[in-house]
A and B are shown apart, each in its own frame.
Chain A
């Protein structure tokens, strides 16, 4: 398996609505779980294993709160094959979506102002936020120019793959 195939496989895992994926071929072995994953033990009383009470120990089992709050009509149904993170909405606003699962931050550090706020003009290449995952800090640059209309996600909330982050007016 090569890097390109691995990337395609990971995208597929994120799009499909199954809970767990396991791969084994020769020496290569790996697994992945999605937000659809349901613990087979969920609902079983933890009994003698109270100390390790698993249900709340695995937050992956339930959708993060930010996802429930975020209106993402375009996220329902199937996604296009294109990997571009921007999509046009009905009222001609451009959406900036999260390219990864992680934690959304509006600024580079807690003592710094947000990269962007509603009304700000952005250019192609302007940093709009950080999505942190597994201690990798990812600055997200805009691929469009325009005006920030809405910041959809609260600072420091968990975000899902392809979750809506910003609405941008390209004519703003």
Chain B
């Protein structure tokens, strides 16, 4: 499979994708999988090494054709929704949700994080590197990260990381290559906190609000306690998750 490169160990799959793009031609859809990742982003900000073949670390190179940066938020949304669809295929009992903007939660805990790095020439998107970190076969996590969960901890099953990666890849690419804009309702319906009260930190304030959806610019739409509808960028609010 020339679209899948598997490494025993890498600093980070996103960095390997950058190196490949810098040194030669790379086809859209190329997928990099590391059995062991030593310097992955977003790994809870600490050096924590999971047992081999329990954590999934992958990156997909996506090269859109004639894609204006103005629509970039849709790439993040499609990736999140692709992961939701893949998880539902892996186990239809799972109830995965998108914790806006770039995490996937199951049963109130983080299963998966997404890190997308794009390169733009002017306003044209040259390529996207879509990095995914997912907890697959971990049976427990250190007490410093009580908010993490794995597929195994939810289903009691062990999985081949490579198979999971291919299912994720297929669902993400199907959505990314989809020209028709008809997936937005499904995305909104998959949001964590949709129509239920959650605590947010907004500037100096702690507030309770209901998520109503995500705008086409990628902003989270919240209904505040007084009924007002407000849109927030990712730097403007924080989820308060106990």
Contacts and interface: CB of A to CB of B under 8 A. Distances in A.
B235 A103 contact: yes
A57 B116 contact: no
Contacts of A33: 215, 217, 219, 231
Interface string B93-106: 00000000110000
Contacts of A6: 71, 74, 181, 216
Contacts of A30: 184, 213, 215-216
Contacts of B122: 83-86, 99, 141, 143
B182 A85 contact: no
B71 A28 contact: no
A135 B102 contact: yes
Nearest to B181: A1
B70 A161 contact: yes
B231 A3 contact: no
A136 interface: yes
Interface residues of B, number: 57
Question: Most chain-B Cβ atoms within 10 A of its Cβ — which of A5, A49, A52, A132?
Answer: A52
Nearest to B129: A137
Interface string A81-109: 00111100000000000011101000000
Interface residues of A, number: 55
Interface in B199-216: 202-209, 213, 215-216
A23 B70 CA distance: 17
A141 B70 contact: no
A58 B228 CA distance: 11
A133 B72 contact: yes
Contacts of A125: 121
Contacts of B221: 31
Nearest to A47: B226
A7 B123 CA distance: 11
Contacts of A111: none
A110 B117 CA distance: 17
Interface in A1-30: 1-7, 10-11, 14, 23, 27-30
A14 B69 CA distance: 12
Given A46-B226, A143-B121, A143-B122, A138 B69 contact: yes
Contacts of B67: 3, 7
B195 interface: no
A148 to B, nearest CB: 16
Contacts of B91: none
Contacts of A143: 121-122
Contacts of B146: none
A49 B230 CA distance: 15
A11 B68 contact: yes
A49 B226 contact: yes
Interface string B213-242: 101111101001110101111111000000
Contacts of B181: 1-3, 5-6, 28
Contacts of A112: none
A59 B185 contact: no
Nearest to B128: A136
Interface of A: 1-7, 10-11, 14, 23, 27-33, 37, 39, 41, 46, 49, 51-54, 56-60, 83-86, 99-101, 103, 125, 127, 132-141, 143, 158, 161
Given A31-B215, A33-B217, A54-B230, 10 more contacts: A23-B216, A28-B184, A30-B216, A33-B231, A57-B205, A59-B236, A60-B219, A83-B124, A100-B123, A135-B114
